[in-house]
Amino acid sequence: MFGEKIVAVPGFLAEETFRGLLNTFQRQRQSQRVHIPVHKRGAALSYHDLQHSAPEIISFYRSPHLHDWCSLVVGDPVVPTPPNDLSSCSILIYDKPRDHIRWHYDINFYRGRHFTALLSLVNRNKEGTGLSSAKLMVRRKSVDIEIPTPPNTFVLFEGACVYHGVTALGEGECRVILSMTFCTEPAAGKLQTLERRFKDIAYFGLRALWT
């Protein structure tokens, strides 16, 4: 099931649970705009933002049922990454033309295995009749493969092993992703912690220095 280090499950949550998370996101009014030249462009709400304004989303991330499901899929027991990692649970917002993230591997800042889980909350084109033009892509043996992400699709992958990116958003479109990270061993060395803090600053601004 996890042989390619990635799995995608459409219709992952019961409709009521999914709608609850979506409604919680729609209450949000502020986000941190991110533009890392060449690499990434979009907006984000960090773990700390969600702790204060969307505790229901944090509760979902910390749910033992979710951890058990992810552990079963990857074949190792997983736990949430620490709360001072601002990407442990965050919302990624693509809502401006050309918002994207370039091809990359996820850096593992922990001693054990590290996983990324994406739950698609919003994915719509300008007319509201279909999906946006922003596509999650993975590259396997020089072949680019689209991973469809309609709303309520859950994608779990080992980011250090899966080369991936998201293509540019079109005019008037919107794509919103609940991003969560898990690991098998939450301990980290001093260099790993320093690297993680630099990444948080790039994504969430200088406030990451005080986490």
More confident position, 16 or 187: 16
Q: Which amino acid is at 2?
A: F
Residue identified by tokens 């309609």 is 150
| 72 C-beta neighbours (distance < 10 Å), count | 13
Is 158 within 8 Å of 184 (Cβ atoms)? Answer: no
**Helix, strand or coil, per DSSP, at residue 68:** helix
Asked whether the predicted pLDDT for residue 65 surpasses 50, the reply is yes
Contacts of 102 by beta carbon, 8 Å cutoff, 6+ apart: 38, 39, 40, 165
What tens digit of pLDDT does each residue of 143-152 get? 999 999 999 9
What is the predicted pLDDT for the residue at 182? 97
- What is the distance between the alpha carbons of residues 69 and 63, in angstroms, rounded to a whole number? 10
Asked whether the predicted pLDDT for residue 124 surpasses 50, the reply is yes
| 91 C-beta neighbours (distance < 10 Å), count | 24
- What is the distance between the alpha carbons of residues 88 and 93, in angstroms, rounded to a whole number? 16
Q: What is the mean pLDDT of residues 119-128?
A: 97
Largest CA distance in the chain: 48
Buried-state track 41-70, b at ≥16 Cβ within 10 A, e below 16: bbbbbbbbbbeeebeebbebbeeeebbebb
Asked whether the predicted pLDDT for residue 123 surpasses 80, the reply is yes
What is the predicted pLDDT for the residue at 129? 95
What is the predicted pLDDT for the residue at 40? 79
Q: How many CA atoms within 13 Å lie on the side-chain side of 192?
A: 12
What tens digit of pLDDT does each residue of 82-115 get? 988 889 999 999 999 999 999 999 888 888 999 9
Q: Which amino acid is at 129?
A: T
**Mean pLDDT, the chain, as a whole number?**
89
Buried-state track 167-182, b at ≥16 Cβ within 10 A, e below 16: bbbeeebbbbbbbbbb
Asked whether the predicted pLDDT for residue 38 surpasses 80, the reply is no
- What is the distance between the alpha carbons of residues 178 and 123, in angstroms, rounded to a whole number? 12
- What is the distance between the alpha carbons of residues 35 and 99, in angstroms, rounded to a whole number? 9
Q: Which CATH superfamily is domain 6-21+38-210 in?
A: q2cbj1_9rhob like domain (2.60.120.620)
pLDDT band at 209 (very low <50, low <70, confident <90, very high): very low
**Helix, strand or coil, per DSSP, at residue 184:** coil
Is 205 within 8 Å of 197 (Cβ atoms)? Answer: no
Could you tell me the residue ranges of all domains in the chain?
6-21+38-210
